[in-house]
Amino acid sequence: MNSKTLSYILRRIILAVITVWVVITVTFFVMHAVPGGPFVGEKAISEAAQKALEAKYGLDKPLFTQYVTYLKDIVTKFDFGPSLKQRGRTVIQIIGDGMKTSVRIGLIAAVIALILGVVMGSFAALKRNTIADRLIMVLTTAFVSMPSFIMGSLLLIIFAVKLKVLPANGATAGGMILPVITLSLSPMAYITRLTRSSMLDVLGQDYIRTAKAKGVPRLRIIFGHALKNSLLPVITYFGPMLAYIVTGSLVVEQIFAVPGIGRAYITSITGRDYPMIMGTTIILAALIVIMNLISDILYKIVDPRITLE
């Protein structure tokens, strides 16, 4: 890795930090501008209790003071504060619990999507215009265009209600299967289509024809020459896919009652649990920023011709 690459990565990291800071700032002020508060309910609590709670959590201070305190606590102590709703638990604890589940589901979904997508895409390209190819294309079109909340509900009805072979609750042992499938189908279909078209493109290149003419075995052509080069667009898709899985988890975790970060995020927003909203936003934003960065660096590793600027 030369110094140019290193300085590129460094610059990207600085930009990433700025990005996250912008997200923190915007979210912080927008969140406080939205009407309602963490202590409102259908039954109003007494004014005394309201005041005491606001004093306890520092919500009675001017907004800008709260903002500065918040930033300082994060930077100096990595302290995201206590949850205002789940009394006695800190944001870090809650996010930690949620991340464990979400990351597991997300990673499995991503790996499945990658492996199956590349395999099916290559297969379709090699079997171009056969029934198998057509079938794969029809299915992937359907999976790409179907939003996860429809796909999730559909799978739920078929496998959990009608066939009763899989649990509907994401918290139980086999409960991760359906959320993982739901999350992976769309990126898998997308990767299949990407791989297929780029594989077809590569297979028509001169160097492939040369290899064929030289008598290189077919499998060696596919795995040694064609596949690596056809994976470039797939790697570009890596970042967006992770983003899809992260945002998709908001919906999917709700449908399958998965105790993940997505559900915690939604609950915190409806409940105006300020520190939780901030914590989850920061974590998700950082995740997306980092994934994009990794995807760009991978890009460079796969294709040395690309110079990172």
Partner 1 sequence: MKKRLMAAVLASVLAVSSLAGCGNTGNTPAPETGDETSTTTEVQTQVSNPADEGLGAGSNAGADVTAETTEINVCFGSEPDTLDPALNSAVDGATFLVHLFQGLAKWEMNSSGVLEIVADAATELPAGVENADGTVTYTYTLRDGLKWSDGSDLTSWDFMYAWNRAASAALAADYGYMFEVINGYDDVADIDDDGNPLHPEAKLDVETPDAKTIVVTLKNDVTYWNELLAFPTYFPVKEDVVANEAWATDPSTYVCNGPYKIASWDHNSLIKLEKSENYIDANDISMGTINCYLSDDQNNMLTNFQNGSWQLIDDVPTNEIASIKSQYPTEFFNVGQLGTYYVCWNVNEDLLPAGSQYAKDENAKADIRRAIGLLFDRNYIVEEIAQGGQLPASSFVSMGLTDADGSQFYKNCGVSSDYDGYYDTSVNGYEDGFTAAVEALKVYYDYDEATGKFTNFPTLTYLYNTSEGHKAIGEYLQSVLAGVGITMNLENQEWATFLNTRKEGDYSIARNGWLADYNDPICFLDMWTTDSGNNDVQFGRGAHASVKGYSLDLTPYGVDVNVTDATWSETYDVLIKAIKSCTDKDSRYKMMHIAEDMLMSTGCITPLYFYTDMYMLDDSVKGFFSNPLGYKYFMYTTIK
List binders of partner 1 among 177-236 (CB under 8 A).
none
List binders of partner 1 among 107-136 (CB under 8 A).
none
Which of 278-289 are b and which e, b meaning 16 or more Cβ less than 10 Å from the residue's Cβ?
A: bbbbbbbbebbb
Shortest separation between residue 27's beta carbon and partner 1, angstroms? 4
Which window, 107-115, 121-129, 216-224, 284-292, contacts partner 1 (CB under 8 A)?
A: 284-292
What is the chain's alpha carbon radius of gyration, rounded to the nearest angstrom?
A: 24
CA proximity to 283, closest of 30, 35, 94, 113? 94
How many Å separate Cα 71 from the centre of its chain?
25
Contacts of 68 (CB under 8 A, 6+ apart): none
- Residue 279, interface with partner 1 (CB under 8 A)? no
Judged by CB under 8 A, the residue of 177, 189, 234, 277 near partner 1 is: 277
In the complex with partner 1, which residue's Cβ is closer, 216 or 266? 266
- Residue 176, interface with partner 1 (CB under 8 A)? no
Judged by CB under 8 A, the residue of 86, 197, 205, 295 near partner 1 is: 86
Contacts of 290 (CB under 8 A, 6+ apart): 16
Query: What whole-number distance in Å separates Cα of residue 222 and Cα of residue 177?
Result: 32
- Residue 169, interface with partner 1 (CB under 8 A)? yes
Tell me how many residues contact partner 1 (CB under 8 A): 75
Query: What whole-number distance in Å separates Cα of residue 55 and Cα of residue 129?
Result: 69
Task: Answer for the pair 142, 186: CB distance below 8 angstroms, yes or no.
Answer: no
In the complex with partner 1, which residue's Cβ is closer, 237 or 256? 256
List binders of partner 1 among 13-52 (CB under 8 A).
15, 18-19, 22-23, 26-27, 30-31, 34-37, 40-52
Judged by CB under 8 A, the residue of 61, 85, 104, 300 near partner 1 is: 85
List binders of partner 1 among 50-79 (CB under 8 A).
50-56, 60
Query: What whole-number distance in Å separates Cα of residue 87 and Cα of residue 89?
Result: 6
Residue indicated by tokens 């939780």:
276
Shortest separation between residue 265's beta carbon and partner 1, angstroms? 7
- Residue 102, interface with partner 1 (CB under 8 A)? no
- Residue 292, interface with partner 1 (CB under 8 A)? yes
List binders of partner 1 among 242-261 (CB under 8 A).
247, 250, 254-257, 259-260
In the complex with partner 1, which residue's Cβ is closer, 177 or 289? 289
Cα distances (angstroms) measured from residue 133 to each of 140, 193, 227: 11, 11, 17
